[in-house]
Structure 1
């Protein structure tokens, strides 16, 4: 992160996390933001940060939670969730240009965020990888920018079940996403809808496509479809990889309550989009 990017982020988030003088000088907004970014980017424990910044562990914890919430509140309306037809068309154009897959408005998948076992949670968060987690269900565009997310589902749930009960899934089912009207791909062709690409864990619907199953017995057209489909769908895997590489907090179990883990994930998603959009 450059000094210019830090200053720009501080100008947006700083007024929200600034403290008033009461008895002693408060910790400045720049110090709070720097501490939080270090925690997210390095994956250091709060105990380690308390020694580095000469602050109490409770103070460090409060700063991280409050700053992550401020980042989400300030940046979410700016960097997340396109909700206009023109924006969806721009996403579709980027997929067509980079992946040669037209009428695609996003690549969808779920990522398990490993956490410590919550108290009295039973097996709700215990997933097939034999660790406790919550699920980040996300959809991205062809530039690895997240356009819609759902955070906090139990790790034991399937991606398809999470999608069905998510706000994104419910809006798509109710046709409330302001998506572009179906259009033909070629002159005098049939009207085809704009779609999301996902793997076999998700249901096949008019707005969500899956690849043809199997490798043998596929026609040439089906193989070409699967190849272009995989080029489009890999964007969400790439986005998760970039996210985990930039923010090392995801490299090991996050030692926090589920509520605070959700705040951390929300903040990193907004920061990911904020810095990625600077490149385009």
Structure 2
């Protein structure tokens, strides 16, 4: 049975929680959520993480296990640093964090939901319509640096001479994940990261139930519903990416790139906010790939949980934290001031576009639509 360190009594831990609870702002800074949200998650997790007392010793309470895990996600502190705070051995800390994150994946799994039918996708498009008509989500991917796995050879070796796993995601206009896939190996070459993903497989099979193409004002052709992405992704019928290169001010291509950037900046903000709150994502994660993947997915699920929260919402994303668009220009949010120069959360490299005729023509038609809309406005 795992025990509390002899110098850290249950009474001491209870007093620590009482002190934190008495100061809501301090509690949020310590665990990245309000006391009421902590209690909600604790109630869900307790049956999965609570251990039984024995006649020889008391088990570590579920609330301490949850607090330890949230503190690790919030700071990315080493297990040695957490040992000084919680007075538990490195081995116990590692086990508790793994068990608690596994439980978080189980109880919060429904926080990330992909639209299941055309009507649900159309509701997502409504939020994007004034920025980029027929956009239903913004897409991005990040390398997440991890400790070199034992006996891994080159399996997780990526383009920057580090080891990584990859998070691919779709987000909606409310800054929430609607799809997240963690676990692609970092060694996969450029475009292979996306092509080996679950999202690509579903898109290729037509299994996402996207709405059928429909006409747009300023275009006589039926236009597909699309994800907006950066140059790390291939140009496809349902994926729009920027025109490569520099283009003169006022040109059709520059105008298209500006509109796409304004829609895609949503996903940049989601990754930026999540890594600002859960700073474990800012440092190489000293865990094996499967456990590191659970850490990352726990952050994704907690992000959506806190976005939906009534008590943590304003603390999680305070005014001015997000980028905003004014007079067709992007005003940077304050989260950008907090990003480290060398974060462990790294963008995927750009891939060369093969520019098949159909997707390229679709992009050209979207560009013409934007010119028509600007003329009408």
Question: Given the two structures, how large is their TM-score scaled by the length of structure 1?
Answer: 0.91
Q: Deviations over 1:200-228 (max 9, x none)?
A: 22221111111112223687332221111
Q: Which one of the candidate residues 168, 176, 183 is aligned to 2:199?
A: 168
Instruction: Report matched runs for 1:1-280 at 5 Å.
Output: 1-23=33-55, 24-97=57-130, 100-186=131-217, 189-216=220-247, 220-278=251-309, 279=313
How far 1:188 moved relative to its partner?
8.2
Q: Deviations over 1:223-256 (max 9, x none)?
A: 2211110111122222111111111111211111
User: 1:233 aligns to what SS in structure 2?
Assistant: helix
Q: Which moved more, 1:45-54 or 1:168-177?
A: 45-54
How far 1:159 moved relative to its partner?
4.9
- Does the C-alpha gap of structure 1 residues 131 and 18 become closer, same or farther in structure 2, counting only changes over 3 Å? same
Q: Which moved more, 1:189-198 or 1:209-218?
A: 209-218
How far 1:155 moved relative to its partner?
1.6
- By relative contact order (CA 8 Å, sep 6+), the higher-ranking structure is 1
User: How far apart are the structure 1 equivalents of 2:178 and 2:40?
Assistant: 22
Q: Deviations over 1:93-133 (max 9, x none)?
A: 22224xx1111121112111111111222233222223221
User: How far apart are the structure 2 equivalents of 1:10 and 1:222?
Assistant: 51
How far 1:71 moved relative to its partner?
0.6
Gaps of 5+ in 1: none
Larger Rg: 2
User: 1:107 aligns to what SS in structure 2?
Assistant: strand
How far 1:191 moved relative to its partner?
1.9
How far 1:54 moved relative to its partner?
2.0
Q: Which moved more, 1:190-199 or 1:63-72?
A: 190-199
Q: Which moved more, 1:161-170 or 1:46-55?
A: 46-55
Q: Which moved more, 1:88-97 or 1:31-40?
A: 88-97
- Does the C-alpha gap of structure 1 residues 17 and 190 become closer, same or farther in structure 2, counting only changes over 3 Å? same
- Does the C-alpha gap of structure 1 residues 237 and 187 become closer, same or farther in structure 2, counting only changes over 3 Å? closer
User: How far apart are the structure 2 equivalents of 1:214 and 1:63?
Assistant: 49
- Does the C-alpha gap of structure 1 residues 135 and 79 become closer, same or farther in structure 2, counting only changes over 3 Å? closer
How far 1:171 moved relative to its partner?
0.5
User: How far apart are the structure 1 equivalents of 2:65 and 2:224?
Assistant: 46
How far 1:58 moved relative to its partner?
1.7
Q: Which moved more, 1:214-223 or 1:83-92?
A: 214-223
User: 1:190 aligns to what SS in structure 2?
Assistant: strand
User: How far apart are the structure 1 equivalents of 2:97 and 2:78?
Assistant: 12
- Does the C-alpha gap of structure 1 residues 160 and 255 become closer, same or farther in structure 2, counting only changes over 3 Å? same
Give me the CA root mean square deviation.
Answer: 2.1
- Does the C-alpha gap of structure 1 residues 227 and 30 become closer, same or farther in structure 2, counting only changes over 3 Å? same
User: 1:50 aligns to what SS in structure 2?
Assistant: helix
Q: Which moved more, 1:118-127 or 1:145-154?
A: 118-127
